[in-house]
Amino acid sequence: MTPQPTPSQTVGPFYGYALPFAGGGDIAPAGHPDAITVRGRVYDGAGDPIPDALLEFWQPAPGGSRAGAPGSLRRDPVTGAVIGRTGLDFTGFGRVATDADGHYSIRTLPPGGAPYISVCVFARGLVHHLFTRVYLPELTDPATEPLLASLPPRRRATLLAVPEGGRVHRFDIRLQGDGVEEETVFLDFG
């Protein structure tokens, strides 16, 4: 008999001292010249920012490798404190909590072999996480990329990062449409 899946439950409000770790958004090695910043805000269906969302990011290395590397939460073996990544290995994984204004930001390297960074969203009030993608416009043609091309323009736009200049991209996430702004497209991998 195939084992039956364990149901999801909300991350709740009190994960803040448990899941985020120092340097969680610094996926790119410090000072790397190719580093890009992705930043934005997470909103609810009233258009209010969500101050207690947790975002995780996963992406291939610039060379296209999807093997990842351990050490995202590298810890001091004596004290257990997070000492951060080595600054050499690209682990491909990031985790950040939104701040009081619903803001988040990550610094990473452009993914290789795929034009997007995968995002997993957790929040108080969200009983089952959501997946979406940050498509980087400089890496993709929305008219031919299969997922983007399959979506009506308004929906498609929610997956496209907006260049703000200086290697900074804006990517807002709306868990629910607020009547003005479009709800982010969320993905189901079956």
Partner 1 sequence: MTPQTPLTQEIISAEIAQARQAYAKAVEGGEPRRDHPDRGYAPYRSSVLRHPEQPLVALDDPDAVELSGPVFGVTDVTALDADLTRQHLGEPLGERIMVTGRVLGRDGRPVRGQLVEVWQANASGRYAHQRDQHPAPLDPNFTGVGRCLTDDQGRYAFTTIKPGAYPWRNHDNAWRPAHIHFSLFGTAFAQRLVTQMYFPGDPLFDHDPIMQSVTDDAARSRLVAAYDHDLSTPEWSLGYRWDIVLSGPAATWIEEGR
Q: Least separation, in Å, of the C-beta of 99 and partner 1?
A: 13
153-172: contacts with partner 1 (CB under 8 A): 155
Residue 103 binds what, of partner 1, Fe ion, none (CB under 5 to 8 Å, by partner type)? none
Q: Least separation, in Å, of the C-beta of 167 and partner 1?
A: 21
For 102, list phi and psi in degrees, rounded to 5: 80, 10
Q: Which of 21, 13, 19 is nearest to 50 (CA)?
A: 13
Cβ proximity to partner 1: between 30 and 127 the closer is: 127
> What tokens does 75 get?
């810890």
Task: Tell me how far apart the alpha carbons of residues 54 and 180 are, in angstroms, rounded to a whole number.
Answer: 24
Query: Could you tell me which residues are beta bridge partners of residue 124?
Result: none
Cβ proximity to Fe ion: between 10 and 91 the closer is: 10
For 101, list phi and psi in degrees, rounded to 5: -100, 10
Does position 144 interact with partner 1 (CB under 8 A)? The reply is no
Does position 12 interact with Fe ion (CB under 5 A)? The reply is yes
Residues in the chain: 190
Does position 16 interact with Fe ion (CB under 5 A)? The reply is no
Cβ proximity to Fe ion: between 129 and 167 the closer is: 129
Q: Least separation, in Å, of the C-beta of 8 and Fe ion?
A: 14
Residue 184 binds what, of partner 1, Fe ion, none (CB under 5 to 8 Å, by partner type)? partner 1
Does position 10 interact with partner 1 (CB under 8 A)? The reply is yes
Does position 185 interact with partner 1 (CB under 8 A)? The reply is yes
CA distances from 162 to 26, 159, 166, 167, 171 (A): 20, 10, 12, 11, 7
Identify the helix (H) or strand (E) that includes residue 108.
strand 103-108
